[in-house]
Amino acid sequence: MNSPLTLSGKDKIPGDIALWFFLCAELAVFGLLIAGFSLVRLRQPEMFQAGLQELHVSAGVINTMALLTGSYLVATGVNKLRIQGDGCARYFFAASGCGMIYVISKVSEYQTLYSNGYSLHYDIFFGFYFFTTFFHFLHVLAGMMILIILGRWLKKTDSDDEQKLKAAESAASYWHMVDLVWIVLFPALYVLR
Amino acid sequence: MSSMAGTSLKTLWLLMLLLTLAVVLRKPEHLILLAVAAWFAALIKGIWIIRYFMEMKQAPLFLQRILYGWLIITISAVTLTAIWQL
């Protein structure tokens, strides 16, 4: 009867509880970066407006689509694992592939900006832009590796279903956290300008 | 049940893609309208990710409040500073 829309049990935390301390700490760090970005934008509106115009909306849209699709695949994989018990590894590999689309798009965006003379030290806006997005980029890379390791482990392991589900939910929670951060970064960088 | 849950997730995913495209393609001329649309779209996407993709519906209330609080504070900060530039 379990489904992503109706989990059984009361007060159930998906994945390992220790992971949630880490995820909350990660969200706090990203929250501080976003708060810093917003505060400096108030003080330097012209610089931020000029900087934002240099970013390509299409890159932001591709990144958003890739991460949302990855999240959908991860959630579907966890759902399949819960109901069928196997055959879900391909969803985690596919989600990792979506992460690769994000990586390629982001690297190409960095390359274009760098060739136009913009770098981490260009001004405060690009300092924030490169630092925050690169920090997020590293999280996507880590998420991709986690999903690949999870998929391979699920194919090989003889562990019981509960252990498999716990591992899958933990990896999924990390991936969704990365997606959640991007949901906020996307309008900040590509829409509100 | 599996296909029903899968359909729900697929529907939410497609709606999130549509919301993303709608804000970018049907970009309102006025910045305040754009800011409200972007705030709304990000909030809806964030809530769906937390509630249905992260499966936090049954999680302890304090953890849900941390996640929803983080989402509302960050997206509001980003939107309000953009409006402030008017």
Domain ranges of chain B: 2-84
**A139-149 mean pLDDT:** 97
The position carrying tokens 């589900």 is A165
Nearest neighbour of B78 by CB, restricted to A7, A172, A192: A192
**Which residues pair with residue A6 across a beta bridge?**
A3
Q: Mind listing the pLDDT tens digit for each residue in A8-60?
A: 556 788 988 899 999 999 999 999 999 999 999 999 989 998 999 999 999 99
pLDDT for res A129? 95
CB A173, CB B54: distance < 8 Å: yes
Highest mean pLDDT among A76-85, B13-22, B31-40: B13-22
In sequence order, the 6+-apart residues with CB closer than 8 A to the CB of A187 are B23, B38, B39, B41, B42, B75, B78, B79
Sorted by sequence, the CB contacts under 8 Å of residue B9 that are 6+ apart come out as A4, A72, A75, A76, A79, B52, B53
- Write out pLDDT tens, residues A152-184: 999 888 778 889 999 999 999 999 999 999 999
Residue type for B81, please? Answer: T
Quote the CA–CA distance of A183 and A175 in Å, as a whole number: 13
pLDDT in tens, B38-70: 999 999 999 999 999 999 988 999 999 999 999
CA–CA min distance B17, chain A (Å)? 6
- Give contacts of A57 with chain B, Cβ < 8 Å: 24
Question: Would you state the structure tokens that stand for residue A119, as one six-digit string?
Answer: 């770098």
Residue type present at position B12: L
**How long is chain B?**
86
Is B21 in contact with A75 (Cβ distance < 8 A)? no
ipTM of the complex: 0.91
Cβ contacts of A83 within 8 Å, gap of 6 or more:
A2, A3, B1, B2, B5
Identify the structural domains of chain A with CATH numbers, from first to last.
18-191 (1.20.120.80)
* Cross-strand bridge partners of residue A104: none
pLDDT at position A4 over 70: no
